[in-house]
Chain A
Amino acid sequence: MNLSAPDLFSPEKDALIIGGHSLSSRLFVGTGKYPSDTLIPGVLAASGSEVITVALRRVDMNATTDNVMQHIPSNIRLLPNTSGARTAEEAVRIARLANAMGCGNWIKIEVISDNRYLLPDGYETVKATEILAKEGFVVLPYVNADLMIARSLVSAGAAAVMPLGAPIGSNRGLQTKEMLRILIEEISLPIIVDAGIGKPSQACEAMEMGAAACLVNTAIAGAGDPVAMAQAFGQAVAAGRKAFLAGEAAVSPGRAYASSPLTGFLS
């Protein structure tokens, strides 16, 4: 298919397809750590994001807590995570419970047993992905930026691969850049950079490299003005995507190469 430039650059024509569902925004956002959940509708509107993550937790029977769901518009796709799971078995249990909430069949697999760096357990994640994909879930696993794990996830039936840029909540950017580049090159599934992105420029860079999308939570929720930061991330992700599609000009090492003609100077 030969797309003309306007078609190529329209979000509708350049849709990201996950689990048969078409998304025009390539920014996924989280719902954790906001000073107030009432900011969430503004964050979604300003960023243009169509996918949002939530976690599943025990109800505190002795406290009346705010329900995060009341702040999420019904047209937004919910991506529950399996945070708290330390094994594949626990992740599968959480995924099934999340599904019973009746908010769709997408699931972000997150299996973590390391409390200091919160690094994902690739082996358990692959096991959980295989089980849940067979049950019909649209599985988006959070993993280290590792080619062999990513290949296992493709075989296990994942709908996308979500490698980390840096440890969760660290805002340190694309520390795994070279490994992300390899995943983007080698893996046929959408690569969604999840965790560690701290600034819009870092999200933009991931998109320029050819990432399919970015998932951002802490950098937005922890910003001085989360709604304004959400808008900045939405624009950065769109700009990076457009730059990727446009095809960047060659890098020339060493000497300079004039942009203006070297003839016709005034004498």
Chain B
Amino acid sequence: MQIIVNGKEEVLEKSTDILAFLQSKKLEPDTVVVELNGLIIEKNRFPETLLKSRDQVEILRFVGGG
């Protein structure tokens, strides 16, 4: 199935929860914030939130800025 992550298409072989997806991308869950179809997903809900076909996912982190 296809999802859109940060504006780019990603293909998932099977349904995956957010925590597993982040881990597959070598991202520490504590260092990012995730928005799924426009809704913020609290970190404690990463393991139980499954990604579905055509989901729009935004994964953000803090970077240097003024």
Contact = CB atoms under 8 A, between A and B. Distances in A.
Interface residues of B, number: 25
B44 to A, nearest CB: 10
Contacts, number: 92
A57 B6 CA distance: 10
A137 B60 CA distance: 20
Interface in A51-79: 53-59, 61, 64-65, 67-69, 78
Nearest to A194: B66
Contacts of B61: 56-57, 59, 67, 69
Interface stretch (B11-19, B23-31, B48-56): B23-31
A34 interface: yes
Contacts of A102: 43
Nearest to B63: A57
B36 to A, nearest CB: 12
Interface residues of A, number: 36
B33 A101 contact: yes
Nearest to B8: A61
Contacts of A58: 6-7, 58-60
Nearest to B31: A67
A267 B46 CA distance: 91
A63 B27 CA distance: 11
Q: Point out which of B6, B58, B62, B66 has the most chain A C-beta atoms below 10 A from its C-beta.
A: B66
A31 B25 CA distance: 25
Contacts of B28: 67
Would you list the 6 A-B pairs with minimal beta carbon distance, nearest first? A55-B65, A30-B66, A217-B66, A31-B64, A54-B62, A58-B6
